[in-house]
A = this chain, B = another copy of it.
């Protein structure tokens, strides 16, 4: 047991905390007079007061104590502030340690800088009230709650020298994603990963309600965290001196625990999951703030949640109260005449990159090493003729991922994430070279579980996403594979990450580019044989397309070779969110590798071998995006050829969905001229699309030939049925596509009635067949492409 703080240490630490609190209150309230050199007047106060005081002093308290232990033991730590609106605390502390001014030289460490620091907070064009991408040392957008702990674990994986301190607010602790993220300890390897130090901060209130964890009995609370697998240390109280002593000695014990867990695992091997320490810090909401305002309880109460008192106009008593409050921190003892932190206090902060605002792990791009990429061509499927060979696209991709995993094994900077579906999604070849991460006990029959596995599976899309974000933000690489319908579970997390990337990549020069977040969506809407309607939703693409074009990319490779190319491209890219949609079932292959590369390089193109309009305008354009729409389109072309050999058809395949948007709206967008060359200006276009058809209209409504565009896609008609029946139910099947062409090409009027009767008969035959046998007719299942223009 270490000695508690000496008297001098305690005084210094307390002073540093007061400085952080002073700067926090200043940010929330002051427009001018930052050092209170003259008596505070109404015009020194911001005209509109916005911010959250409640959580801030506790966050400051933690920061100061982490600083102490970092200095004392030369630790590498980063700080994740879960409580949404803890912005003032992180800003105040990074300002005190100097990292804020290094990143923002105009916010200098003097009176003028302090004035700007105060003004910018929650001020137009300034900074938000929550921890944001602009905050040095942060990898965590504090705007939405629930993800602090999964981010923390993501950051700790494969960072054996790092300790991630993660403050979890008691409000945030009520969210689902946070409630399950505690189980991340079952996936943290003490030998090869770093440590996460969760600090559950109970300050009692949300906006207007007490929090659950602050009100249940202490015994239940302790049981809960023992049940989650932790060793909880309680730090409870409100008297600063006692709290500093308690926090310091607890921090000492905890770092001892962490070091001994790690030393044991690193010298003796990983035997079993350790009980990692955590802190339960119970401190008053709005600690050190005014006890009462207008006779109403404020400190330790929900009235401290935001701005404890905000009426200032014609309320000189409030201005006075603010002045007294700020002076209670005795700023003159903390800052010199010029507003500079006094040297004995500045001394308390860690040095250089040990400062939490300057730790390079929190600006992951600084540490990013490109993946060593094997040649994806080595996995090419041989495609001597289009449509003759069958392959499972994601299985081929799995082999490529296996090789990537292998080549980067030493660097330990690539992981695959997913909710228990890696094998089901046919990526199982990665298990040739690694295992699933698993720290619990195993039994002999278990399949590829190991503490150092690099495939992370937990039945929580939120946790997968949070881990991956934390992993990427600290400079590593990864892929998230998920059932298409259920990726909506992380819609809101996607939003936050997309917004983070928009801001960091375009507006914050000191943030270095990080690896893109890559999704593989499979088990998609068109192949849900036994799951049925509840598993059918291709709308994540729509959701993604609402975000900034600079940030998002959507790919629909139609076969294995195109999928290989796109996978390679996505894993090399930076600062994007890439969505890849590809099926896992055996499917016709269309392009040999060279053709696939060429096709994907443009992202869209005419498939000459499937078209017969060479040298002339076509009668109809048949476009497709997605593996199943491509299959049905080509089958329709085949049928049309038999019926009307002289019909000039142009087949266009779209891999990169963003090519459809105008060039002005997305960097991948085709120019209007090129779009017109491909799609003509006046011929009918039958577009078979993987998802909701209106997305294609939304992307193309400004194009010249939009009026002739007819899109088929998923329109929420589904059930438990065969693959072909799913397309029939949504009018996306070959027969409906043929009917669409006949309806829209005037010169086919002469065969319209006859052909449509044929088509109706075919559909009836299909319905009868599957009702009887439960599988698709052989002629559908075994259909092969026959058209060869030369033939």
A residues near B (Cβ < 8 Å) are 31, 46-48, 50-51, 122-130, 132, 141-146, 171-172, 174-181, 183, 186, 206-212, 215-216, 220-229, 297, 301-302, 420-424, 436, 438, 440-442, 445-447, 449, 457-463, 485-486, 488-489, 491-492, 495-496, 499, 502-503, 529-535, 537, 539, 542-543, 546-548, 692, 694-695, 697-698, 701, 706, 716, 719-722, 725, 770-771, 773-775
Contact = CB atoms under 8 A, between A and B. Distances in A.
A496 B143 contact: no
Contact of A144 (B301, B534, B706, B774): B534
A179 B775 CA distance: 39
A128 B445 contact: no
Contacts of A529: 48, 50, 122
Given A51-B530, A175-B462, A697-B697, 6 more contacts: A31-B774, A50-B530, A125-B719, A224-B224, A227-B227, A488-B492
Contacts of A145: 459
B224 A132 contact: no
Contacts of A227: 220-228
A176 B179 contact: yes
Contacts of A172: 459
Contact of A420 (B126, B146, B209, B706): B209
- Secondary structure call for the A interface: loop
Contact of A176 (B177, B228, B539): B177
Nearest to A211: B459
B125 A771 contact: yes
Tally of this chain's copies: 2
B775 A47 contact: yes
A175 B180 contact: yes
A167 B253 CA distance: 41
A697 B692 contact: no
B441 A215 contact: yes
B146 A176 contact: yes
Contacts of A461: 175
B143 A532 contact: yes
Nearest to A483: B144
A49 to B, nearest CB: 9
A733 to B, nearest CB: 14
Contacts of A542: 542-543, 546
A13 to B, nearest CB: 31
B530 A129 contact: yes
Contacts of A143: 531-535
Given A209-B436, A420-B207, A720-B128, A530 B122 contact: yes
